[in-house]
Structure 1
């Protein structure tokens, strides 16, 4: 017997609450970052624009909840086609900024970054692919697992490469993380997963060997600015005058925050203008310096709780397509959170990924809120039964 609940009753209010808390943290951190000496406009103007983006994102998140997510299966192929078309369009007609060709539009009037929306389209396409693969029982053999992995790679590799050549390593790795989480969700053998991880590590080892023995060939694969970032990551203090400048001062700022922080709009590094892109890529520095280890920990706990709720929605959903959609969103957010915080504290190289729901910006924020809308969509349409799931 099915328990009947209205969509409002099934809406996950705890997830919305955690999202609201992140919005509040974002506005506080952006105001502080924009109060820095490097900005010549009032900090309130940044906050006002961020509120507008939150409002737009909320509307689109609501729109993503309205249509039954089952209907997305019918649009997965067209959406994938749109993704490839937009990325090819960027390649030939994109707007170049700071050596990267990632945007399309009219400079100074309206521009957007297609790769941000491609993330959502890829999640939908991957979820539909996995639904088709797992709809019928398949033999638990290595051959069958290799076929599944091959299909996932065939779908994800074209957008991955098109984004990589923009160049946009950070977003390309996000697509890679979505592919990886889908491989896990497909239930392939642990040996296959271990092999994939070994291939990635082997690829990194091969690049290091090329760097040390065939640098001219290596430089054709890794661009000079990307290599400079790697050098800066490995030793920020030795590259303070170059690519290491940003990371070096960010680490000093985070260290200065200690346990309780220096106080709101009181960060020495944050307010001195020493850290470029403070309100976007390095917003975590503001939180860690001005609110200390406690403030940074609270932020990470909020992220954990948000992701935990999403994982629980995926587990309780009795529709495999819905579970795959939520898993894709979890993969999307986990990698971005890890990468942004990791690059800020020097654990991983700088890639320019925004901190979800906290960094200032439009395209990334709207994309992440649409992704949350998909999760809520799955949740409000999950059917609960008193005596097990419906067959």
Structure 2
């Protein structure tokens, strides 16, 4: 829709929706009573938007929705047997995927779209496709390494990387300001997530706690995924680095989330004038 990306706003709606579903269910039923019903509710709330986003296709935001759902499952009070079952299904799917990728690539290609297969091949074998599929990744790795300890200085890039201001903004930071500059950014992001975790632990309202933890999962995954893909540790998914990468829709969603978290934190803050 013009320059607005509706899928970005789905992250906010899913976090709030899952928080409402879990809070309502736990208020109605005793702990571990009808856990399967709660699991079905959470999957049903996630399935429709996830399916529509995957069809686009938008693998990055699809993964974020899955991470938000997984975080909600962990904190919803589900019996550990259900959690182990879900973890076993996930682990089994990953094992089957890599088995098919290495030994039955043609069969796997019938289930996965071509662009997804290309990204995985570019990730696992980047230097074999340096002139084609993994050109941007190889250039990003070289540009990141060119910064060394203190960087080459602002505006003095030695390696060309396409679209540096968006998904590969961390490469720009590492190249301009080196390991020191990149480490400072990582420390700031770590302190940011740490503060969100503190707010989640201090929040007395379960609904507020679920919302804050949903954003903790979202921000943490985006940070690890974005930085990981720029250095070749994780596959490229097109996720921006929160509050740093260029992007209007994602910035709005992040700021709306921060506003909601600040409202939750203000309600849980203990004042010296409060009556006990």
TM range (shorter): over 0.9
The residue aligned with 2:257 is 371
The residue aligned with 1:135 is 27
Q: Structure 2: any 5+ residue segments left out of the alignment?
A: none
Deviation at 1:149, TM superposition (A): 2.1
The residue aligned with 1:114 is 6
Q: Which has the higher contact order (CA 8 A, sep 6+)?
A: 1
How far apart are the structure 1 equivalents of 2:206 and 2:187? 28
Query: Do the aligned partners of 2:31 and 2:77 also contact (CA within 8 Å) in 1?
Result: no
Deviation at 1:217, TM superposition (A): 4.1
Determine whether 1:314 maps to 2:200: yes
Q: 2:181 aligns with which of 286, 295, 299?
A: 295
Deviation at 1:198, TM superposition (A): 2.2
* TM-score, scaled to structure 1: 0.66
Q: CA RMSD in A?
A: 2.1
SS at match of 2:3: strand
Classify 1:190/1:300 alpha carbon distance in 2 versus 1 (closer, same or farther; 3 Å): farther
Q: Which has the larger radius of gyration?
A: 1
The residue aligned with 1:237 is 127
How far apart are the structure 2 equivalents of 1:257 and 1:189? 48
Query: Do the aligned partners of 1:115 and 1:171 also contact (CA within 8 Å) in 2?
Result: yes
Superposed CA deviations along residues 210-239 of structure 1, whole A, max 9, x for unmatched, are 445654542232111211111111121110
Determine whether 1:163 maps to 2:53: yes
Query: Do the aligned partners of 1:318 and 1:383 also contact (CA within 8 Å) in 2?
Result: no
Query: Do the aligned partners of 1:317 and 1:378 also contact (CA within 8 Å) in 2?
Result: yes
Q: Structure 1: any 5+ residue segments left out of the alignment?
A: 1-103, 105-109
Q: 1:341 aligns with which of 215, 223, 227?
A: 227
How far apart are the structure 1 equivalents of 2:266 and 2:216? 18
How far apart are the structure 1 equivalents of 2:13 and 2:125? 38
The residue aligned with 2:246 is 360
More strand by share: 1
Determine whether 1:153 maps to 2:43: yes
Classify 1:120/1:139 alpha carbon distance in 2 versus 1 (closer, same or farther; 3 Å): closer
Aligned residues: 275
Superposed CA deviations along residues 238-292 of structure 1, whole A, max 9, x for unmatched, are 10111111111111111122222222222311xxxx2111110100001111111
